[in-house]
Structure 1
Amino acid sequence: MSVIFRLLCVYYGVHHSQPPVGALRWQAPLPIEANNNFSSMGVINATQIGPTCIQGIPYWSNSTPGNPTGQEDCLRSDVYIPIKPISTALPIMVQVHGGGYTEGSSMSEPGDAIMAAANGSLVYVSTQYRLGAFGYLSSVEVRQNGSPNVGALDQRAGIQWTQRNARAIGGDPAKITIVGGSAGGGSMMDQLILYGGDKNPPFRAVIAQRTWWQPRHNDTVLESQYRRLLKETNCDNLACLRSLDQSTLANAAQRTYTDGYLAGDIGFGDYYYGPSVDGEIIRALPQEEFKTGHFAKVPLIVDRDGYEGVLFSNNSETTFAEEQADFQQLFPAAKPSFFQRLWQLYPASDYNSTFFQRQTVFGDFIIDCPTYYMATAVADAGLPVYKLIFDAGTELHGATTPYLWSATVPGDNVGVQGANITLGNIMKDWWLSFTVNLDPNVQAWSNASKPYWPTYMGGNMTFSAMDVNYTAASVDLDYLSRSMNVFQDYPMSVMSTSWGMQ
C-alpha cells in the first residue's frame, strides 16, 4: 500500500486473475481465487507499481521497437481507496487503459487527481489485460483449442473481480462505472456488446472516451497473423507456441507487426492486433450489434477530440495517389464505388494538404462515427446519453487526458491539468457526478461553475452535445461528419477487412 498526500491508499499490482502462462496462454482468464492457490504466488509488494503486460509497437509508429517490455504475469489492478471515505459503500470507477490494444498499462490513466477531487466519494480501480498477440490472437486453431479475444475477457475479469471484492475495498458492487479512452474507449464498446449484450452486466454505467474502432480483421488476416507468429517462432501449432519462453514469444510477436504491415495486411494507423468477430464473445460487428439492440442497456457518456486523425496519419504523404493507396490498404474490402463516394464527400479542394484531408477521413471513420452509433443506439433504447466534443488542450487524440487523469496531486486537492485548471475541475466534476449519480449535472466537488449538460436525444437529427473549447463549454448540435453518409451506404466494408464486400 502507498499513501499519497495523506488522501489516498493505493494498492498496486493486485492480481484479478491467475497468470496466463504456459497452458493458460490464449485461454479465458481464471479468477485469482480459483483453486485457492495463493501461497505459490508469494507476497505482492503493493507499494510498488506492478509489471505491465507485454507491449507491442506497430511498424508505422514513430517509435523504434527494442526488446519488448512487460510480463505475462500482468493480469492485475491498481486500487485507489480514500483515507477518509464519506461512506462504507462508495461508487467505483474502473478504468480500462488505451494504447491500440498493443500498448499501455494501469498507470496510463492514474487515478490520483480524480480521487483527490472526489474528496472521499469514490473508489478507483485501474485494470490491465493481455495485449497484442498475447491478447488478441485468433485463428481456427486458437478458437478450437483456446479462446480468441482474451484481452476483452481479461477486461471483464478485472471488472468482475472489482465487483466481487467491492465491499473489501470500501465500494458498492451495484455502483460500478467503467471508463476507458482510445482502445480503452473501444473496449467500453466491446464490454457493452460482449456475448450479445448482458442483461445484468457487472457495471451500471459506461464512459467511452474517443472510442477507437479500427477495422475488425477478417479470417484471412487473422490466419495470416497466426501463421506469421508460427513462422517467426519455428513452431507448427498452438501447443508449440504455448511451450515457448516469454522472451522468445514476445520478440517473435513484435516482428509480426513489421511483417504484417509490409505485406499489406493493414494500413497506416491500424495496430494490427485487436478485437475480432468470433461469433460468441464478440458475435458481430459493433455497428450491427448496436443497430439490432444487442448491447447492455446502461447510461452512457461518450466523447471525441477535435482532430482525432492527426496522430495516426502519415505526414510523408503528399500526393493523392499515395493517399488512395493508403486507404485501399486500410479498407481493402471496399470496391471503387466506395472510394468514389468518399472523395466526393471529402474533396481535396476543402483541405490545405493531403495530410489534413487524410487525418480528417481517418478521424471521422475510426472515432467520430462510432461515437454517433453508440450514442444514438443507447439513446434510442431510452437511456440517458451525454456526448462531449473536446476542442481544448491540444485538440488531438487524447486531449482530455491531462484534464482528468494525473499522478500529481497538490495539497489543495486540485489536480494538475497543465493547460486550464478550471476546465479540469469542470471535467472531473462531470465525470464524478455521472459515476455517483448517473447524471453529470447533479453534484459538484470543486468551486468551478459547470454548464448544464443536456442528454443527447437520439432518433432524429437534433442531437445535443457539449462542445468544450479553450475559453468556454456550451451546448451545440453534434457535428455529424460527412463520413456518416458513407457509413450508412457501406457499413460493412468500412469497418471490417472482409465482411460484406462493397
Structure 2
Amino acid sequence: MQYLSILPLLASAVFAAPLQERSAPSVTIANGTVIGSSSGGVDSFKGIPFAQPPVGNLRLRPPQSINKSFGTITATGIPRGCPQMYVSVDNSNLPEAVIGLLADTPLVQTVSDAGEDCLTLNVQRPSTATSSSKLPVVFWIYGGGFEFGSTQLYDGSALIQKSMAMANNVIFVAVNYRVGGFGFLAGNALASEGSTNLGLRDQRLGLQWVAENIAAFGGDPDKVTIWGESAGSISVFDHTIINGGDNTYMGKPLFRAAIMDSGSVVPVDPVTASQANTVFTTVAQYAGCSGNSEATLTCLRNKDYTTLLNAMNSVPGILGPRSLDLSYLPRPDSSDNFFSQSPDVAVTSGKFAKVPIIIGDQEDEGTLFALTLSNLQTNDDVVNYLASYFPGDANAEADVAALMSHYPDEPLLGQPAGSPFRTGIFNNIYPQFKRVAAVLGDITFTLTRRVYLDVVSSQVKAWSYLNTNFYGTPILGTFHATDILTLYFTPALPAAQATMAYYISFITKLDPNTLNPSMTNWPQWDSTGRNIVNFSGLTVTADKDNFREDAYQYLKSKTNVFKV
C-alpha cells in the first residue's frame, strides 16, 4: 500500500496555526442571540438551528421553520451531523483496501455525534464584519452521494482569509441536510402526503433562513452564490429547477449565481417508480413495518432511532456493488411544484433559474466507484450490469452496448478511453476496470456536464473546468472529490489558491476573471468554442472541452432513456 501514501498525507494536512482569539462575537437574529468564536481573523458561528428537529411526528416530513425564540445559544461546538449511511469495507483485497483508506480521510470519515436533531447551519465571516457590511455570501452544500456528509468536515476559514487578502470579503454559510433514507426515501406512501426530497427541502429552508437572517451577520441576502460538490453539486443544480426555475422568496431571488463541482443533471424516474418503491419496501420490511401506506409511515415514525437507521442502511450504498445506481437521490414528484420534473426535462424546457454558473469535473470521476466492481470481467458483464441501472429503458442492453462501443474493450498504450485517463495499459486492476471507470464518470458527471452546458450556455454566462491535479496517482488518478480535498484540507497548495481566487471573484463580481487580471484568463463556455481551463498541478491552462466526442454525442441522444 506504499503507493497510496499521498492520500493520508492529504488527509492529515491542517490549516496554519490560528491567530490569538479575541472576545466572543455575538449576533442577534429573529429567533434569539447567537454567540460564536473568533480565530485567525474569522468569526465562526457553528450549529445554528434553522428548523424544528425532524423527530417524532416530524420524522420523514418536510422541515418546519422555528416558530419561537431559542433565547441565547453558544454556537462554538461541533454541530451534530444527520444520520449517516455508513460504509462497510473488506480490507482483504486491493479495491476494498483503497476504499478503506479513503473512508479514513476527512472527506468521508465517520461523522461524530450523528442524530436526527441535526438541521443546523454554520456562518463564518471576517471578524471585521458588522450588520452594515453587506458582504457577498457563499452557501455551501456538502456531497456524499446523498448518503453521508456533514458540515462538521468543512471549514470556510481559508476561503474567507483568501477573500480578505484579495480585499473582497465574503461570508461562508454551510448547511446540514438529511441524507440517506431520512432525507431521500421515496415511494408511493411518501408521495401521497408530499413528504419527498426532504434533503432538498432542508437545503431550501436553509437558503430561506439566509434570506431572513444573514444581514445581521454582515451578509447581503441579494448577493448569495450557492456552491456544492458531488451530491452537493447536483443539489445546487436542482435548486436552479425547483419551483419550475423560480428561485425567489418573499419577492427576491434566494441566490444570484451557482458553482457546481462534479455534478449537474441526473435524469431520474419519479418518486413512484418501481425502483423507488422497492427501496421503500425493503426499508419497511427491515424495520418490521409492512406495506407501503400511511400505516407503514406511522410505523416507521414510531420506531426507535437505531432500528430505523439500520433499516434505512439496509439497501445498497454508493461504495458497494451497485455503485452510482443510488438507493437514495432526489426524484421528481408531480404532486407539487417543488421538484416536479426530471432534471433533463426541466433544462430542455427552459425551466431553470437564469443565473451565471461555474461547473467542472475531475479528470477521473469514475475510478473510485469502479473499485468494487471486479466481478465485471467481460464486455457482456459490463453491458448487463449498466443496463440494470436503467429499468425504464426497454432497450437498455442494446443502448448500453452501443455506448460501450465508444470505450475500447482492451485499452492499448496511447488509447485515451480508459480511466485513469492518459495512462495507457497501466492501472487496469481487473479486465474491465478502466472502461467501467470511464463510463461511470462520463454518464454521471463529465459528459453529462457538457450536455447541460450545451443547453444552458446560450441563456446564462457559464465557465467550466477540468481538474487534473492528481494525474499519476496509481489506480485512482484525479479521482472524484480531489478538488475538495485540496480546497478544504490543503488550502495553501497553489491549485487551491488559484481556485479560491477565481471563485471569490465569481462570488463577488459574477466573473472569475475580474479580480485576477494577472492569472490565466478563464474564457466563457459556449457550444461553439467549448473553452475550459485545466487545473493541473502548479498551473492553470486554457483547454478545449472536446474529449470523447463520440461518446458525448451518443449520451446526448439518449438523455431521455438513461434514467436511474
Please say whether Structure 1 and Structure 2 have the same fold, judged by a TM-score greater than 0.5: yes
Q: What letter corresponds to residue 369 of structure 1 in structure 2?
A: L
Match of 1:413 in 2: none
1:346 Cα deviation after fit: 1.4
Give runs of aligned pairs for residues 394-433 of structure 1, distance below 5 A: 395-406=478-489, 416-417=490-491, 421-433=493-505
The alignment status of 1:204 with 2:256, answered yes or no, reads yes
State how far apart, in whole Å, the 1-side matches of 2:561 and 2:322 are: 14
Secondary structure class of the residue paired with 1:176: strand
Mark the runs of 5 or more structure 1 residues left unpaired by the alignment: 407-415, 498-502
Match of 2:463 in 1: 386
Q: What letter corresponds to residue 285 of structure 2 in structure 1?
A: K
| Residues 1:261 and 1:214: Cα distance change in structure 2 (over 3 Å) | farther
State how far apart, in whole Å, the 2-side matches of 1:66 and 1:47 are: 20
State how far apart, in whole Å, the 2-side matches of 1:66 and 1:296 are: 35
1:2 Cα deviation after fit: 5.0
- Whether the 8 Å CA contact 1:177–1:206 is kept in 2: the answer is yes
State how far apart, in whole Å, the 1-side matches of 2:36 and 2:434 are: 45
Per mean C-alpha deviation after superposition, the further-off stretch among 430-439 and 188-197 is 188-197
State how far apart, in whole Å, the 1-side matches of 2:482 and 2:439 are: 19
State how far apart, in whole Å, the 2-side matches of 1:268 and 1:214 are: 15
The alignment status of 1:463 with 2:541, answered yes or no, reads no
Secondary structure class of the residue paired with 1:257: coil
Secondary structure class of the residue paired with 1:400: helix
Which of 259, 276, 293 is residue 222 of structure 1 equivalent to? 276
The alignment status of 1:374 with 2:452, answered yes or no, reads yes
| Residues 1:318 and 1:487: Cα distance change in structure 2 (over 3 Å) | same
State how far apart, in whole Å, the 1-side matches of 2:148 and 2:540 are: 32
Give runs of aligned pairs for residues 420-499 of structure 1, distance below 5 A: 421-444=493-516, 449-457=518-526, 460-481=527-548, 482-494=550-562, 496-497=563-564
Displaced runs of 4+ in structure 1, greater than 6 A?
64-69
| Residues 1:199 and 1:234: Cα distance change in structure 2 (over 3 Å) | closer
Per mean C-alpha deviation after superposition, the further-off stretch among 394-403 and 355-364 is 394-403
Task: Please give the per-residue CA displacement for 1:47-80, whole angstroms capped at 9, x wherever unaligned.
Answer: 1011000001367874699999611111110110
| Residues 1:69 and 1:251: Cα distance change in structure 2 (over 3 Å) | farther
Give runs of aligned pairs for residues 92-131 of structure 1, distance below 5 A: 92-119=137-164, 121-131=169-179
State how far apart, in whole Å, the 2-side matches of 1:74 and 1:261 are: 24
| Residues 1:229 and 1:67: Cα distance change in structure 2 (over 3 Å) | farther
Which of 237, 242, 256 is residue 301 of structure 2 equivalent to? 242
Task: Please give the per-residue CA displacement for 1:175-221, whole angstroms capped at 9, x wherever unaligned.
Answer: 00010000001001111111211153400000011116566355101
Secondary structure class of the residue paired with 1:492: coil
1:273 Cα deviation after fit: 0.6
State how far apart, in whole Å, the 2-side matches of 1:465 and 1:371 are: 12
Per mean C-alpha deviation after superposition, the further-off stretch among 349-358 and 232-241 is 349-358
The alignment status of 1:27 with 2:88, answered yes or no, reads no
1:37 Cα deviation after fit: 5.0
| Residues 1:442 and 1:211: Cα distance change in structure 2 (over 3 Å) | same
Q: What letter corresponds to residue 123 of structure 1 in structure 2?
A: I
| Residues 1:483 and 1:4: Cα distance change in structure 2 (over 3 Å) | farther
- Whether the 8 Å CA contact 1:95–1:127 is kept in 2: the answer is yes
State how far apart, in whole Å, the 1-side matches of 2:221 and 2:392 are: 44
1:238 Cα deviation after fit: 0.6
State how far apart, in whole Å, the 2-side matches of 1:435 and 1:252 are: 41
Match of 2:49 in 1: 15
| Residues 1:215 and 1:379: Cα distance change in structure 2 (over 3 Å) | closer
The alignment status of 1:164 with 2:221, answered yes or no, reads no
Task: Please give the per-residue CA displacement for 1:159-184, whole angstroms capped at 9, x wherever unaligned.
Answer: 11111112111100100001000000
Which of 217, 223, 244 is residue 175 of structure 1 equivalent to? 223
- Whether the 8 Å CA contact 1:56–1:254 is kept in 2: the answer is yes
| Residues 1:269 and 1:199: Cα distance change in structure 2 (over 3 Å) | closer
1:291 Cα deviation after fit: 1.1
State how far apart, in whole Å, the 2-side matches of 1:170 and 1:417 are: 25
Which of 315, 324, 337 is residue 256 of structure 1 equivalent to? 315
Secondary structure class of the residue paired with 1:138: coil
Which of 61, 75, 84 is residue 46 of structure 1 equivalent to? 75
Q: What letter corresponds to residue 347 of structure 1 in structure 2?
A: P
Secondary structure class of the residue paired with 1:81: strand
Match of 2:351 in 1: 294
State how far apart, in whole Å, the 2-side matches of 1:471 and 1:374 are: 29
Count residues with an aligned counterpart: 470
Q: What letter corresponds to residue 145 of structure 1 in structure 2?
A: E
TM-score, with structure 2 as normaliser: 0.78
1:281 Cα deviation after fit: 2.2
Secondary structure class of the residue paired with 2:151: coil
- Whether the 8 Å CA contact 2:226–2:259 is kept in 1: the answer is yes
Secondary structure class of the residue paired with 1:29: coil
Which of 69, 86, 90 is residue 135 of structure 2 equivalent to? 90
Which one has more relative contact order, counting CA pairs under 8 Å at least 6 apart?
1
The alignment status of 1:359 with 2:437, answered yes or no, reads yes
Give runs of aligned pairs for residues 52-91 of structure 1, distance below 5 A: 52-57=81-86, 62=99, 70-85=114-129, 88-91=133-136
Match of 2:333 in 1: 278
| Residues 1:322 and 1:215: Cα distance change in structure 2 (over 3 Å) | farther
State how far apart, in whole Å, the 1-side matches of 2:110 and 2:498 are: 40
Match of 1:135 in 2: 183
Per mean C-alpha deviation after superposition, the further-off stretch among 227-236 and 324-333 is 324-333
State how far apart, in whole Å, the 2-side matches of 1:424 and 1:108 are: 17
Secondary structure class of the residue paired with 2:169: coil
State how far apart, in whole Å, the 1-side matches of 2:456 and 2:266 are: 21
State how far apart, in whole Å, the 1-side matches of 2:505 and 2:210 are: 20
| Residues 1:70 and 1:271: Cα distance change in structure 2 (over 3 Å) | farther
| Residues 1:289 and 1:214: Cα distance change in structure 2 (over 3 Å) | closer
1:385 Cα deviation after fit: 0.6
TM-score, with structure 1 as normaliser: 0.87
State how far apart, in whole Å, the 2-side matches of 1:285 and 1:483 are: 22
Secondary structure class of the residue paired with 1:475: strand
- Whether the 8 Å CA contact 1:68–1:254 is kept in 2: the answer is no
- Whether the 8 Å CA contact 1:365–1:483 is kept in 2: the answer is no
State how far apart, in whole Å, the 2-side matches of 1:112 and 1:142 are: 39
State how far apart, in whole Å, the 2-side matches of 1:221 and 1:402 are: 33
Q: What letter corresponds to residue 554 of structure 2 in structure 1?
A: V
State how far apart, in whole Å, the 2-side matches of 1:390 and 1:261 are: 22
State how far apart, in whole Å, the 2-side matches of 1:113 and 1:277 are: 36
Secondary structure class of the residue paired with 1:432: helix
The alignment status of 1:147 with 2:208, answered yes or no, reads no
- Whether the 8 Å CA contact 1:18–1:30 is kept in 2: the answer is yes
- Whether the 8 Å CA contact 1:267–1:327 is kept in 2: the answer is no
Task: Please give the per-residue CA displacement for 1:217-248, whole angstroms capped at 9, x wherever unaligned.
Answer: 55101111111121111123111111122222
1:344 Cα deviation after fit: 2.0
Task: Please give the per-residue CA displacement for 1:430-481, whole angstroms capped at 9, x wherever unaligned.
Answer: 000000000011115xxx9421111112xx3421111221242122221353
